[in-house]
């Protein structure tokens, strides 16, 4: 009798202890939007990864599953399909707003099965540091009921844990968002104002080709150079984006610096020279969001310098050095193919202010030029991107030579191509 009584007591005790085999809540952290959104999202991911009973499903898994299923992970229907495939119980997203004297983070938790909002929180701080500290202390307290009470698709309602979500503090943004469908229509990514700062550093190599048209002077020869190391720094800063999402956030400054090491070369007579290339531009850019993409217009000052220096005074230069000073104006666009992959293109016309030594070789020369810039960007992590860039510049000359000129040719085409690979931040 005592034996059966002991077994009965043991069974009863086991029933009172939470099952260790119970599955963790599978949660994905969707994109965050607004100033410092990448930082806030990273903080949320790090905090939730430390919580017992929660498994974080990466965005990479979300995207690969959506691709396999042929659905859009940004649409409610697509999220439901992904949730069913990965047994996601909850989706979490956030919006950061900057107000006078404070930052506000609105967190929203959506049910994986129904994509209805089941909870969230609103946190504020006078600075980014204060907001991060408040998030660390209150995130789990304010969201755990919703996260642990969410249900994945195909889980029977009677088996799901019914938990009343903590109400979200009232705000103009959260009061408007009731379901994931409505969140989709109101989400900031539909307007995508863009990051306040982009900074990239890459390494690569330039190529130059100077080819004359109808050269009559025998000493004029075409010139080519390639294979020298190149450093490539790209910057874009939209200061108003730190404070507002309005049209004022469209305007910013972009700049680029390219520096190549001096490279020894020889002409056809064996004379040795050193060639050096550097280029720079800075200007204003207006970046207008169109859904998930951008169009932009820009204008500014640019220079590119290619210097050929003889190693001995007896050797003449095989080609003139150039020092192009231009007004650079054009249009651009950026296409977001996925959340992590984007393509960009700039096309510019160059109005020449001066051309350097080649203008002394050909005193009546006139010049015009175009420039194309292309890039492919891939998000390695939130806020950190790899970038493959290519910049092509084409300068075309008419020399207007006359009998008696020291150098006579019809014109020339001067081409530069610089390719670089690097990484940087988008914040």
Please tell me whether the overall predicted TM-score, pTM, comes out greater than 0.85 for this model.
no
Burial class (CB in 10 A: 0-12, 13-18, 19+), 12: exposed
Give pLDDT, residue 33: 81
Give pLDDT, residue 180: 46
Please answer whether residues 42 and 383 qualify as being in contact, where contact means their C-beta atoms are separated by less than 8 angstroms: yes
Q: Nearest Cα to 196, choosing from 110, 78, 98?
A: 98
Give pLDDT, residue 301: 98
Count how many residues are written for the chain: 427
- The CATH class for the domain spanning 197-426 reads mainly beta
CA separation, residue 137 to residues 46, 379, 399 (Å)? 13, 29, 71
Measure CA 321 to chain center.
Answer: 36
Q: How far apart are CA 252 and CA 196, in angstroms?
A: 9
CA separation, residue 295 to residues 222, 282, 288, 361, 399 (Å)? 38, 19, 5, 41, 37
Give pLDDT, residue 153: 74
Q: Half-sphere exposure of 314 toward its Cβ, with a 13 Å CA cutoff? A: 4
Q: What is the 3-state secondary structure (H, E, C) of the chain?
A: CHHHHHHHHHHHHHHHCCCCCCCCEEEEEEEEECCCHHHHHHHHHHHHHCCCCEEEECHHHHHHHHHHHCCCCCCHHHHHHHHHHHCCCEEEEEEEEEECCEEEEEEEEEECCCCEEEEEEEEEECCHHHHHHHHHHHHHHHHHHHHHHCCCCCCCCCCCCCCCCCCCCCCHHHHHCCEHHHHHHHCHHHCCCCCCEEEEEEEEEEEEEEEEECCCCCCCCCEEEECCCEEEEEEEECHHHHCCCCHHHHEEEEEEEEEECCEEEECCCCCEEEEEEEEEEEEEEEEEEECCEEEEEEEEEEEEEEEEEECCCCCCCCCCCEEEEEEEEEEEEEEECCCCEEEEEEEEEEEEEECCCHHHHCCCCEEEEEEEEEEEEEEEECCEEEEEEEEEEEEEEECCCCCCCCCCCCEEEEEEEEEEEEEEEEC
In the chain, what are the domain boundaries?
16-188, 197-426
Give pLDDT, residue 313: 54
Give pLDDT, residue 61: 87
Give pLDDT, residue 17: 44
Q: Nearest Cα to 229, choosing from 205, 208, 259?
A: 205
Give pLDDT, residue 262: 78
Residues of the chain with pLDDT under 50: 5, 7-21, 155-193, 314
Give the CATH H-level superfamily of domain 16-188: TolB, N-terminal domain (3.40.50.10070)
């Amino acid at each position: 009798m005592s034996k059966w009584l002991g077994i009965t007591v043991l069974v009863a005790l086991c029933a009172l202890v939470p099952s260790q085999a119970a599955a963790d809540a599978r949660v994905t952290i969707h994109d965050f939007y607004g100033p410092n959104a990448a930082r806030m999202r990273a903080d949320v991911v790090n905090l939730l990864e430390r919580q017992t009973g929660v498994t974080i499903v990466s965005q990479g898994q979300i995207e690969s599953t959506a691709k396999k299923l042929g659905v859009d992970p940004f649409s409610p229907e697509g999220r439901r399909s992904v949730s069913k495939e990965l047994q996601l119980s909850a989706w979490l997203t956030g919006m950061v707003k900057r107000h006078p004297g404070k930052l506000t983070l609105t967190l929203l938790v959506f049910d994986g099965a129904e994509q209805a909002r089941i909870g969230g929180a609103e946190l504020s701080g006078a600075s980014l540091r204060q907001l991060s500290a408040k998030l660390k202390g209150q995130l789990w307290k304010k969201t755990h009921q919703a996260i642990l009470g969410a249900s994945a698709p195909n889980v029977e309602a009677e088996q799901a844990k019914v938990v009343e979500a903590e109400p979200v503090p009232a705000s103009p943004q959260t009061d408007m968002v009731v379901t994931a469908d409505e969140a989709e229509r109101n989400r900031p990514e539909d307007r995508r104002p863009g990051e306040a700062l982009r900074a990239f550093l890459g390494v690569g190599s330039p190529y130059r080709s100077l080819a004359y048209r109808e050269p009559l002077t025998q000493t004029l020869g075409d010139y080519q150079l390639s294979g020298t190391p190149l450093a490539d720094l790209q910057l874009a800063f939209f200061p108003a984006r730190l404070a507002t999402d309005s049209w004022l956030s469209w305007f910013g400054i972009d700049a680029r610096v390219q520096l190549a090491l001096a490279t020894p070369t020889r002409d056809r007579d064996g004379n040795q020279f050193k060639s050096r290339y550097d280029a720079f531009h800075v200007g204003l850019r207006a970046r207008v969001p169109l859904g998930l993409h951008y169009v932009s217009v820009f204008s500014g000052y640019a220079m590119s310098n290619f210097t050929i220096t003889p190693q001995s005074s007896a050797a003449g230069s095989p080609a003139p050095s150039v020092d192009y000073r231009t007004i650079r104006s054009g249009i651009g666009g950026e296409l977001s193919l996925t959340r992590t992959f984007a393509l960009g293109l700039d096309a510019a016309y160059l109005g020449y202010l001066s051309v350097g030594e080649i203008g002394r070789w050909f005193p009546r020369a006139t010049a015009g030029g175009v420039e194309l810039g292309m890039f492919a960007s891939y998000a390695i992590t939130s806020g950190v991107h790899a970038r493959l860039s290519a910049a092509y510049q084409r300068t075309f000359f008419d020399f207007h030579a006359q009998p008696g000129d020291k150098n006579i040719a019809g014109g020339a085409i001067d081409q530069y191509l610089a390719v670089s690979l690097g990484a940087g931040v988008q914040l």
